């Protein structure tokens, strides 16, 4: 891993920024990588457009901005529409498939969808859809060690919600692993 650029996009209130913070924390504190996070959100806060940009590398990162994401994780159609053309050829695109209907992809990109909102709703807490998506991201991208992600989640979520969030992560992770196993068998 020299330098990996990740962009996470969605609506305010979906935990987009928290997802970026957890990924960066996992990589930097528990997986011996350098990580930077920048964020962008509209003035509306909840319901408005927002994104988190994370740069991961083994060496010191001197430029924190994401210009051409290697990995795009989106949880809203406007985020998909806005960021899909930025993804590098052969990149990875992960999307919440209840809310995003993907269109044409950049050359060679792999795209995988997950009904994270439905999974979170079935757990009784729609608010953990971002953590479900992080599990999915972890299983399909290998950007951070699974143990590092679990530790970062426990450190980042409100006290008393660690079990719920770990369960959400595990559900997304298991879905991604099953998808990867099916993809590898074909």
Taking only the tens place, the pLDDT of each residue in 24-72 is 999 999 999 999 999 887 655 566 789 999 999 998 988 888 999 999 9
Please tell me the predicted confidence (pLDDT) of residue 185: 67
Q: pLDDT at position 49, please?
A: 81
What is the band of 167 on the pLDDT scale with cuts at 50, 70, 90?
very high
- Residue 182: pLDDT band (50, 70, 90) is confident
Closest CA to 110 of 135, 86, 87, 93: 93
Looking at residues 132-145, what average pLDDT do you find?
96
**Three-state SS sequence of the chain:** CCEEEEEEEEECCCCHHHHHHHHHHHHHHHCCCEEEEEEEECCCCCCCEEEEEEEEECCCCCCCCCCCCCEEEECCHHHHHHHHHHCCCCCEEEEECCCCCCCCCCCCCEEEEECHHHHHHHCCCHHHHHHHHHHHHHHHHCCCCHHHHHHHHHHHCCCCCHHHHHHHHHHHHHHHHHHHHHHHHC
Structure confidence at residue 10 (pLDDT): 95
Residue 51: predicted pLDDT: 94
Task: Choose between 42 and 167: higher pLDDT.
Answer: 167
At 47 the pLDDT is 64
Q: What would the two tokens of residue 2 be?
A: 């020299």
Instruction: Give the model's pLDDT for residue 62.
Output: 80
Which pLDDT band, with edges at 50, 70 and 90, does 19 fall under? Answer: very high
CB 115 within 8 A of CB 75: no
Given this model, what pLDDT does residue 1 score? Answer: 58
Residue 179 has pLDDT above 90, yes or no: no
Structure tokens belonging to residue 141: 């991208």
Domain range 3-185, its CATH number among 3.50.50.60, 3.40.190.10, 3.40.50.2000, 3.40.920.10: 3.40.920.10
Residue 91 has pLDDT above 90, yes or no: yes
Q: Do residues 50 and 40 touch, judged by C-beta distance below 8 A?
A: yes
Least confident of 138-142, 172-176, 179-183: 179-183
What is the predicted pLDDT for the residue at 186? 59
Q: What is the pLDDT of residue 64?
A: 86
């Amino acid at each position: 891993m020299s330098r990996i650029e990740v962009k996470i996009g969605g609506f305010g209130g979906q935990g987009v920024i928290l997802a970026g913070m957890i990924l960066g924390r996992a990589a930097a504190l528990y997986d011996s990588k350098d990580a930077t996070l920048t964020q962008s959100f509209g003035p509306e806060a909840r319901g408005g457009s927002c994104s988190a940009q994370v740069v991961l590398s083994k060496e010191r990162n001197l430029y924190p901005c994401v210009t051409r994401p290697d990995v795009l994780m989106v949880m809203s159609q406007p985020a998909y529409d806005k960021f899909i053309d930025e993804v590098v050829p052969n990149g990875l695109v992960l999307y919440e498939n209840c809310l995003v209907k993907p269109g044409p992809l950049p050359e060679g990109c792999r795209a995988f969808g997950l009904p994270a909102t439905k999974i979170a709703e079935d757990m009784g807490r729609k608010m953990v859809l971002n953590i479900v998506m992080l599990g999915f991201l972890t299983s399909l991208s290998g950007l951070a060690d699974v143990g590092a992600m679990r530790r970062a989640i426990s450190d980042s979520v409100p006290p008393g919600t660690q079990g719920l969030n770990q369960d959400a992560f595990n559900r997304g992770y298991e879905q991604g692993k099953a998808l990867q196993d099916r993809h590898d068998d074909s």
